[in-house]
């Protein structure tokens, strides 16, 4: 009695979907050795009711992955360009501070260049000083109540970006506090707490928590050194 193909197929052991999946996972080169199967296999198309071959599906996935990589590359290129621009701005500020005459010159140069180079609407420097506090709007005594709002800033020694709280805004920007929608607070140090550098903008998106703080940290170190030099001039 002759066995038909149908009978042979029905007699063959049946593999579950899980078994096929496990096998393919264990043998990822399976289709490399059986390339002819790729053209025979079809997958449901996600759009519409048609079907696409496995090869077409793989090509589509590779194209999408390539587009994602291109977008990531462009993002990295933009970050590199932004960093280059920031480096140039810090360099120009450093040169200008080296030429500044005394502490008043340092403070005026810092405010002028940060407004233009960093596109800040308001730039303030609040220095902690017992002797000079009564004579200058830039100086506050060590026991000034407003400094309490910056305890965490001084402890972390890292700039804060985004929306500062109302006490921080009032201390830094005084009567202009209500105009500031986003801001940066940079701690200034010498041997101890030297003060706070504040940059404020009327735009909510200008300074945000996702900003990198590396260059802002450099900015704080640069201004701190210039203030110390200006005090000794």
Q: What are the tens digits of pLDDT across the range 41-65?
A: 665 655 555 555 666 767 777 888 8
Q: What are the tens digits of pLDDT across the range 136-168?
A: 678 888 888 999 999 999 999 999 988 889 999
Q: How many domains does the chain have?
A: 2
CATH number of the domain within which 146 lies: 3.30.450.40
Domain of residue 104, residue span = 100-232
User: What are 149's two structure tokens?
Assistant: 């709002």
For residue 5, being part of any structural domain is answered with no
Q: Looking at 85, 117, 145, which one is the last position of a domain?
A: 85
Q: What are the tens digits of pLDDT across the range 178-192?
A: 999 999 999 999 878
Q: Looking at 39, 60, 85, which one is the last position of a domain?
A: 85
Q: What are the tens digits of pLDDT across the range 74-99?
A: 877 876 777 777 788 888 888 999 99
Q: What are the tens digits of pLDDT across the range 208-232?
A: 887 777 888 889 999 999 998 877 6
Whether residue 1 is predicted with pLDDT greater than 50 in this model: the reply is no
170 and 59 within one domain:
no
Determine the Cα–Cα distance for residues 179 and 182; give it in Å rounded to an integer.
9
42 and 118 within one domain:
no
For residue 2, being part of any structural domain is answered with no
Determine the Cα–Cα distance for residues 72 and 69; give it in Å rounded to an integer.
5
Can you give the pTM of this predicted structure? 0.66
User: What are 93's two structure tokens?
Assistant: 């500020």
SS3 161: strand
The CA-atom distances, in angstroms, between 83 and each of 87, 147, 204 are 6, 31, 22
Q: For all residues of the chain together, what is the average pLDDT?
A: 82
Contact 227, 103 (CB under 8 A): yes
81 and 104 within one domain:
no
């Amino acid at each position: 009695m002759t066995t038909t193909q149908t009978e042979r197929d029905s007699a063959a052991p049946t593999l579950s979907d899980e078994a096929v999946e496990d096998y393919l996972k264990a043998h990822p080169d399976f289709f490399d050795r059986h390339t002819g199967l790729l053209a025979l296999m079809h997958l449901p198309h996600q759009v519409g009711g048609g079907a696409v071959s496995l090869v077409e599906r793989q090509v589509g996935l590779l194209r999408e992955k390539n587009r994602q990589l291109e977008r990531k590359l462009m993002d990295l290129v933009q970050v590199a360009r932004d960093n280059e621009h920031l480096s140039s701005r810090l360099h120009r500020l450093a040169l200008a501070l080296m030429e500044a005459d005394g502490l008043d010159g340092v403070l005026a140069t810092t405010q002028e260049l940060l407004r233009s180079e960093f596109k800040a609407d308001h730039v303030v420097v609040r220095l902690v000083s017992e002797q000079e506090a009564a004579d200058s709007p830039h100086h506050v005594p060590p026991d000034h109540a407003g400094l309490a709002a910056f305890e965490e800033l001084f402890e972390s020694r890292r700039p804060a970006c985004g929306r500062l709280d109302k006490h921080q805004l009032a201390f830094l920007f005084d009567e202009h506090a209500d105009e500031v929608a986003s801001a940066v607070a940079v701690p200034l140090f010498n041997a101890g707490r030297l003060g706070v550098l504040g940059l404020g903008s009327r735009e909510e998106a200008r300074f945000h928590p996702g900003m990198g703080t590396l260059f802002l940290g450099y900015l704080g170190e640069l201004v701190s050194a210039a203030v110390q030099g200006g005090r000794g001039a």
